[in-house]
Chain A
Amino acid sequence: MVNVLSIEGLTVDFNTAEGFVRAVDDVSFVVPENRTVALVGESGSGKTVISQTIMGLLPQAASITSGNVILADPTGAEPPVDIATLERKGPRMRHLRGNRIAIIFQEPMTSLSPLHTIGDQIGEAALLHRNVSGAQARELTREMLRLVQFPDPERALDTYPFELSGGLRQRAMIAMAMICRPALLIADEPTTALDVTIQADILKLIREVQAELRMSVLLITHDFGVVANMADEIAVIYHGRIMEKGTAQQLFSDPKHDYLKALLNAVPSFHMDRDERLVPIRPIILKSEDLTRNRPHCDVAPGEPLVQMRDVTKTFTLRKGSFLGGKAKTLTALDDINLTIRRGECLGLVGESGSGKTTAAKAILRAIGLQGGEILYNRGKGLEDIAALKGADLMDYRRRVQLIFQDPFSSLNPRMTINDILMEPFEVHGIGTPQERAERARSLMDLVGLDPRFLRRYPHSFSGGQRQRIGIARALALNPEFILCDEPTSALDVSVQAQILNLLQDLKRDLNLTYLFVSHNLAVVDYLADRIAVMCRGRLVEMGETRTVTGNPLHPYTKALLSAVPEPDLSAQLDFAALDAKRASEPQLWPEPFRLTDGMEPSLVEMEPDHFVCAPGLKNAGALEGTAA
């Protein structure tokens, strides 16, 4: 078999202000024809630098110190060429880029120009490399859009990226990469920014296109679930060096290197036992005595309702249809949500983007107004409507309920030191003297396993995982009882994710916390949550004990979500053939008794003991109506 790409002894240095930094160190691997090779590593491991080297897109500061990057076109159209010796902006490199090698990126929105139609952007590569006329390029583009299964290729030619969903944009990116039928496709985290069902669609598409065009794929990712489902061969990279490489079979069944073993142990999966813990690569040591000692007593007994959402409805008005006014469109983000969170539990709220899960969290924080229903909170004096809280009561509520944000980069003010960030909650609530506050800030750092000496630093000097720990410390500052975690690990590497998940679990146990854990990652929720609530299009569709829901999903949407999660296990591969694109998230298309039409009340029915499913058809049949408790 021909090796389309052979990298040998590649070393890339960056010339920075602090001297030379070696980003890639003596890396060798090959990508055979019509095979998929996965390059796996954490952020900062040098995997993106390798992809840039192959594309000739290295930044100015980088230089290839040694090694060969040989591209051998299996069609024989081009003689083998060593990319490492080509001038990056020269005509020979330009001739290869987009023609024989193509790339798709992680973020489908920013990868496409918002000002040009996708037909224009896709056809451009054909015009550049295939010596065709404008009309022929348009015809080729239409053909490519059909290949990547655009619903209406003819109309899609003249749409702009902002009119398309994330999944369709990524399809357009793939069409753009494929139009010159390249020998090698580099997929740089192609599905990391997408929902799990769309991720499955895109992975399936890449496989189909690969089979059709017989091309090789270099898949760059940190997600072992994706690797297990896509890769024929794997290379694991750490700090610019290849740690281990081999076939997928070898590496999954018998990992040799400690780093690879550690990485595999850090990924949550559905097969774990309830009390089995993830093993982070860099565990953190907590010292939480101080905070457990000073904690105020919580008056709500464990298992009692702490937060209750009753018929909560929230709609958003979208911008008007035309310049002359017209009907304003509304979007129902929360439709009659009934949900109870019991004290001491972790409730996982799961759904795709746009399902309303973040809106629900914001509603509990009283960060947005409601169109209907009420949210009740028990402060030890029975359930109270939070909308009625005023003045000191409201401040007390704000102290009790805290939020951990999704993005650790934008949720910390870059102009405040960590000390200022951690002291701010005390200043807002007027708690303690300056000495006490400083003392508390230090013990908070201990609590999340960070050195108190870091307090004088600014956020930019911390990694993503460390920043997220600072965000957690800030949320814990006021001794809250209830914490909303809004996708706290979705921006983090798997190894760091394990660290944060364990931290959250330990804190919950030590500090008697209650969590609402919002996430689109079912495996993560499965690891952390006691109960799961699944949301789709602003409705609650299924709720129950974690293992009941993941082990025996009843609702078609939950089933679709679960079947789309790629597992880091070769024996549990995704069934690509069974995936039916996006019909599962269309309430009108659900089979009876689950079918929901507009204006229908999405009531929950207890189909099994303590296992509630949104099935309007069953309710009318006289089944037990769930009170959603």
Chain B
Amino acid sequence: MLYYILRRILMMIPTLFVISLLIFFIIELPSGDYISNQIAALKSTGEQSSIAKLEFLRKEFSLDRPFFERYLVWIGLWPGPHGLDGLIQGNWGWSFEFDKPVDQVVGPTLPLTIVLNFATILFVYVVSFPIGIYSATRQYSWGDYGFTFIGYIGLATPNFLLALILLYLFNLWFGLSVGGLMAPEYIDQPWSFDKAMSVLAHLVIPTIVIGTSGTAAMIRRLRANLLDELHKQYVTTGRAKGLKENQLLIKYPLRMAINPFIADIGNLIPSLVSGSVIVSVVMSLPTVGPVLLSALQSQDQFLSGFILLFVAMLTLIGMLISDLLLAVLDPRIRLGGRAAS
């Protein structure tokens, strides 16, 4: 088991390299870069001094070098103008658009992104499990139909619309300030208990909004999976032993039905980040989503590259967690080799 964990972690390193190469390649696909676009714009107005400064920046960030060299400089395996100084060394790059180092641009947003994603995944699982189990065990009951109906509405409603409605209602009922992840007075304040509570209160709406469609999809899938399992022979065996229905459900069919959901933890993360961009813009949430959007629009390559890599990293960690959980929960995965004899 220890070997397995170690091997999985080592495997993440080459995977991350391949992903970073792909990200870098795709970001550079549009012709030109941030600086050359600026130079082209300035040339038309003829401002020589600014152009000289930008040319210096081009050299400074090795944008004048060939593709692979640029890539290697970025990740820190090739000496740039200041020697080895890339992602591996902890230098996350420079954002041209904000004229700041990337870590200063995304730094404050990363913890909030992680918190929001974590809360959303938790929401999806906590809400969908009881409902899915209820729907499957009481198939074709009024409750089942009701949840199915709500679920389809959840799938079909555009997220930003739901966000606006919820913002209005929460403001009306609880007097919650509109937008953001904390009340305005706490912004740029040091962390305190009140600030944390404010963040928690403001997390509710984005979590619901971003999580709704995922929850609805998961309810449907859990219901279908569990229905398949409920009619299997081993469930009858358990019942024939005299188990109570609830004990039986949790011990046997549910254990079998949750495998796909554990395997999904890793996949949920990228879809949550990309799916929440519009919601984040609408609700002005300080997450990386809107930053990524603007970075992509302006070809701010180091910024967008870093954010994409960050999401990829989260995904890999999510996959690792789900693989380890699966190995713990399913002996067929853990002991697959032993059974072959």
Contacts and interface: CB of A to CB of B under 8 A. Distances in A.
For B242, B337, B339, the residue with the greatest tally of chain A CB atoms inside 10 Å of its CB is: B242
9 A-B pairs closest in CB distance? A98-B241, A98-B242, A110-B233, A97-B242, A125-B241, A113-B234, A94-B242, A318-B340, A160-B331
Q: Indicate the size class of the contact surface on chain B.
A: 20 to 34
A160 B335 contact: yes
B340 A115 contact: no
Interface residues of A, number: 40
B329 interface: yes
Contacts of A615: none
Interface stretch (A17-25, A99-107, A306-314, A494-502): A99-107
A398 interface: no
A128 B239 CA distance: 12
B341 A329 contact: yes
A95 B335 CA distance: 35
B332 interface: yes
A163 B239 contact: no
A160 B251 CA distance: 15
B237 A111 contact: yes
A43 to B, nearest CB: 16
Nearest to A59: B231
B242 A95 contact: yes
Contact of A329 (B238, B241, B340): B340
Contacts of A113: 234, 237-238, 252, 255-256
A350 interface: no
A97 B243 CA distance: 9
A320 B239 contact: no
Contacts of A57: 236, 239-240
A111 B242 contact: no
Interface in B318-341: 329-332, 335-341
A110 B232 contact: yes
Given A115-B255, A115-B329, A176-B237, 7 more contacts: A95-B242, A99-B242, A113-B255, A116-B251, A129-B242, A162-B332, A323-B7
B241 A163 contact: no
A89 B252 CA distance: 17
A320 B242 contact: no
B188 interface: no
A538 to B, nearest CB: 16
Nearest to A158: B331
Contact of A110 (B234, B252, B330, B340): B234
B340 A321 contact: yes
Contacts of B240: 55, 57, 97-98, 102-103
A102 B232 CA distance: 18
Interface in B1-15: 3-4, 7
Interface string A115-130: 1110001001100110
For A95, A113, A116, A176, the residue with the greatest tally of chain B CB atoms inside 10 Å of its CB is: A113
A112 interface: yes
A112 B237 contact: yes
B245 interface: yes
Given A160-B331, A162-B332, A323-B337, A115 B256 contact: yes
B244 interface: yes
Interface in A62-113: 89, 94-99, 102-103, 105, 107, 110-113
